Amino acid sequence: MDNIQSLEQLERPQLISETKDVVGFDLGHGDTSAARVSATGGRVQPLELVKGTKVIPTALGTRTDGSIVIGKDAFRQDVKDSVQQFKSAKVNDPQVSVALRTFVNEAVNRLRTNNSTIAFNPTTLMVFGCPSAWSDAQRLAYGSLLSGQVSNMQAMLVRESRAAFITMKEEKQLNSSEIRESVLIIDLGSSTTDFTFVWDLDPGELPVGNVYSLGASLIEHQLLKIALQASPERKAIEQWLQQHSGEYHRTVWKFREAKEDYFRDPSALQPGPPIEINMTYWSNPDQPLKLEAKLTADDFEKALDTPQEALGASPISWRARFRADLQASSRNIQELTGAPPRIVILTGGAARMDFIEEITKEVFPSPSSVRRAPEPEHTISIGLALAGSIRYRTQSFLKEINELINTGVVDDVIHKRMDSFAQAIADAVANDTTERFFLPEFLSWRSSGEGTLRDIAENISNRMEAWHNSEEGHKHILEALTGWYRQIENDLHKITAPICIKYNLDADVLDIPKAPFDPAHSNPTTDPEEVLFGTARIIMSAVLGAISFVVSSLLFGGGIVLLTPTGPLGVIVAGVVLWIFGETAKELAIERVMDMNLPRLVRQMYPRSFLESNVRRQASKADGEIHTEIMKSILGGYPEKDPDREKKERQAKENQDKIVQEISNGVEEALKQRAGEASVLII
Q: What is the pLDDT of residues 469-486, one digit of tens each?
A: 888 888 889 889 999 999
Q: What was the pLDDT predicted at 318?
A: 96
The region of weakest confidence among 92-101, 402-411, 563-572 is: 563-572
pLDDT value at residue 369: 96
Portion of the chain with pLDDT greater than 90, in percent: 54
| Mean pLDDT to the nearest integer, 288-310 | 93
Lowest mean pLDDT, pick from 100-109, 281-290, 395-404, 549-558: 549-558
DSSP letter at 288 equals -
Confidence bin at 583 (pLDDT 50/70/90): low
Q: What is the pLDDT of residue 209?
A: 67
HSE-CB at 5 with a 13 A cutoff on CA atoms is: 2
| 213-225 tens-digit pLDDT | 889 999 999 999 9
pLDDT over 90 at 276, yes or no: yes
Distance CA 148, CA 135 (A): 20
What's the pLDDT score for residue 132?
A: 81
Mapped onto helix, strand or coil, the DSSP state of residue 162 is: helix
What is the rounded distance in angstroms from the CA atom of residue 252 to the CA atom of residue 271? 25
Label residue 660 by pLDDT band (50, 70, 90).
very high
Q: What is the pLDDT of residue 155?
A: 97
Full DSSP string of 590-633:
HHHHHT----HHHHTSS-HHHHHHHHHHHHHHHHHHHHHHHHHH
* Rounded Cα distance, 432 and 435, in Å: 6
Reported confidence tier of residue 600, pLDDT bands at 50, 70, 90: confident
C-alpha–C-alpha distance, residues 463 and 359, integer Å: 53
Residue 4: the pLDDT is 44
Position 101 confidence tier, pLDDT thresholds 50, 70, 90: very high
Residue 265 burial class via C-beta count within 10 angstroms: exposed 0-12, middle 13-18, buried 19 and up: exposed
Task: Dihedral sign for Cα 494, 499, 502, 505, please.
Answer: negative
Instruction: Quote helix, strand, coil % in the chain, to nearest 5.
Output: 55, 15, 30
pLDDT, residue 1, reads 36
Q: What is the pLDDT of residue 564?
A: 60
Closest-CA residue to 321 (of 331, 309, 332): 309
Q: Which range (187-201, 280-294, 556-570, 655-669) has the least confidence? A: 556-570
The pLDDT, as a whole number, for residue 519 is 66
- Report how far residue 648's alpha carbon sits from residue 631's, in angstroms, rounded to the nearest whole number: 12
Burial state string for 300-335 with b = 16 or more CB within 10 A and e = fewer than 16: bbbbbeeebeebbeeebbbbbbbbbbbebbbebbee
What domains lie within the chain, and their CATH numbers?
2-173+376-393 (3.30.420.40), 217-311 (3.90.640), 402-675 (no CATH)
Of 32, 69, 61, the closest CA to residue 248 belongs to: 61
Q: What one-character-per-residue DSSP string does 298-338 give?
A: HHHHHHHHS-BGGG-SS-B-HHHHHHHHHHHHHHHHHHHHS
Give kind and range of the element (H or E) at residue 290.
strand 289-295
Counting residues of the chain whose pLDDT is more than 70, the rounded percentage is 92
Contact 517, 525 (CB under 8 A): yes
Say whether pLDDT at 588 is over 70.
Answer: no
Instruction: Please check the confidence at residue 177 and state whether its pLDDT lies above 80.
Output: yes
| Contact between residue 642 and residue 372 where contact means Cβ atoms under 8 Å apart | no
- Confidence at residue 2, expressed as pLDDT on a 0 to 100 scale: 42
Average per-residue pLDDT for the chain: 88
Residue 117 CB-half CA count within 13 A? 10
Of the listed ranges 33-42, 551-560, 649-658, the one predicted with least confidence? 551-560
- 118 pLDDT more than 80: yes
Task: Please determine, for residue 514, whether its predicted confidence score (pLDDT) is greater than 90.
Answer: no
Are 289 and 280 in contact by the 8 Å Cβ rule? The answer is yes
Q: Are 190 and 217 in contact (CB under 8 A)?
A: yes
Q: Report the C-alpha dihedral over residues 193, 199, 204, 206, rounded to 10 degrees.
A: -50
* More confident site: 272 or 409: 409
pLDDT the model gives residue 32: 96
- The per-residue pLDDT for 461 is 83
Residue 451 has pLDDT above 60, yes or no: yes
| Banded pLDDT at 598 (limits 50, 70, 90) | confident
Around Cβ 196, how many Cβ atoms within 10 Å? 25
SS3 call for 45 = strand
Is residue 349 scored above 90 in pLDDT?
no
Separation between Cα atoms, residue 49 and residue 91, nearest integer Å: 24
Q: What is the mean pLDDT of residues 612-622?
A: 82
> pLDDT band at residue 57, thresholds of 50, 70 and 90?
very high
Classify the C-alpha dihedral 476-478-481-483 as positive or negative: negative
Q: What is the pLDDT of residues 531-551, one digit of tens each?
A: 557 788 888 889 989 998 988
Query: What is the pTM assigned to this prediction?
Result: 0.80
Of the two residues 622 and 148, the one the predictor is more confident about is 148
Say yes or no to pLDDT of 34 above 90: yes
Average pLDDT over residues 461-472: 86
